Structure 1
């Protein structure tokens, strides 16, 4: 079994604000190098189970990144994730936002690597490095 990828960090923001910036203001901090279009006009989390996670390019083209499984603002979000990959290669991401002192602890856990066969472990390792860069931009945006 390939262990989950876990990224956990503290932010200087309230739980509702941390959740809002992750889900509603994603395009303001998500690196363009990790998008399909290279210059998204929007990144949208449709706020309900079954909702899409979609990038809208400058030409209006939509690129599906995943689907929301659980939408529990402001404390939890879980989704199927397949940015850059076919839906058959999706993993699952759960993000929780919990109070800690005057701020929030954000915990991201990504699972499902075993479903990728031999590609699972290398993809997990590459994804860990990507999340480190992405979450540092998120922290700066808060």
Structure 2
């Protein structure tokens, strides 16, 4: 363990959320509208979240006081079906983190399947924190945004 409390390790998180919206609407929310429901922030109140859904595109937070954060870089996109990114998602140090969203139509709904893998110097709490964070982001904030037009309070 180093002085930051990080140890060599890995984790994998998988989540499924059924959202009563078309794959196209879910994809638009994951990309174009991400700032409307992604409530977590690294750069403080008033920051702006954007995602450019093309390989090499950035999932970026731009703060109003000069702080900016790269949440991920887009690796693969198949419009309305899948998007894969690499990015730290709030972790620090020597860690590789990859996450993907797959969209599968199910009647008038979409099953959103998340996979998030991280390996490197890991804080033992990160797996639990990210699992809970994904549950809140996708199962609460994104779902409520798409199904009820409700936007979360930004942290």
**TM-score band (shorter)?**
0.7 to 0.9
Aligned twin of 2:132: 129
Q: CA deviation at 1:40?
A: 4.2
> Helix, strand or coil for the counterpart of 1:126?
helix
Change (3 A) 1:61 1:89: same
Aligned twin of 2:45: 39
Q: CA deviation at 1:94?
A: 0.8
Change (3 A) 1:41 1:123: closer
**Gaps (5+ residues) in structure 1?**
none
Higher strand share: 2
Q: CA deviation at 1:58?
A: 2.6
Deviations 1:41-70 (A, max 9, x none): 421111211111101123464321111110
Note the 1:16-27 alignment, pairs <5 A.
16-27=24-35
Aligned twin of 1:14: 22
Aligned twin of 1:48: 54
Q: CA deviation at 1:124?
A: 1.4
Higher helix share: 1
Deviations 1:7-54 (A, max 9, x none): 1010010000011011111111111xx211222442111121111110
Aligned twin of 2:145: 141
Change (3 A) 1:87 1:64: farther
Aligned twin of 2:106: 100
Aligned length: 137
Aligned twin of 2:73: 67
Q: CA deviation at 1:121?
A: 5.2
Note the 1:111-130 alignment, pairs <5 A.
111-112=117-118, 115-117=119-121, 119=122, 122-130=125-133
Deviations 1:120-140 (A, max 9, x none): 653212210111111111100
Aligned twin of 1:89: 95
Alpha carbons 1:5, 1:111 under 8 Å: kept: yes
Aligned twin of 2:86: 80
Change (3 A) 1:75 1:116: same
